[in-house]
Amino acid sequence: MAKQFVKSKLKKYHKHQLMVSQQKKREKEKKHYQEETTETENEAQQKKKIEFKIRLEAKIMAHDYDYLTASSSEDNNSSPAPEKMEKDDFEIVVFSDENDEKDNETEND
């Protein structure tokens, strides 16, 4: 009887150890998946920031704004946080035939 009791305890112990090792393996896989997901999300956010900066630079070049409002919200769920940017913070370059004609007229006068 004592042998049967010991055998049953050993079986239960081995089952428990197997269950624990499987659970640890699942947790490790889950953690790895979460890290990959986080890394992918971070890369996507960086890409969005770069695209936002490019669009903002294009907007600055296309329009002669005295003040700009830029919203740099990191995700679409949060409300944008406007920040007032001074004209001195940017070098605004505007190309137009109109400006060239005015410059030519001024030089000719």
pLDDT in tens, 43-61: 999 999 999 988 888 777 6
Cα–Cα–Cα angle for 80, 56, 79, nearest 5°? 5
Say if residue 77's pLDDT is above 60. Answer: no
Single-letter residue type at 31? K
Domain extent, residue 100, equals: 2-108
Distance CA 71, CA 52 (A): 9
Number of domains in the chain: 1
Single-letter residue type at 79? S
**HEC assignment per residue over the chain:** CHHHHHHHHHHHHHHHHHHHHHHHHHHHHHHHHHHHHHHHHHHHHHHHHHHHHHHHHHHHHHCCCCCEEEECCCCCCCCCCEEEECHHHCCCCCCCHHHHHHHHHHHHC
What number of other Cβ atoms are within 10 A of residue 60's Cβ? 19
The reported pLDDT for the residue numbered 87 is: 56
6-33 confidence digits (pLDDT tens):
888 888 999 999 999 999 999 999 999 9
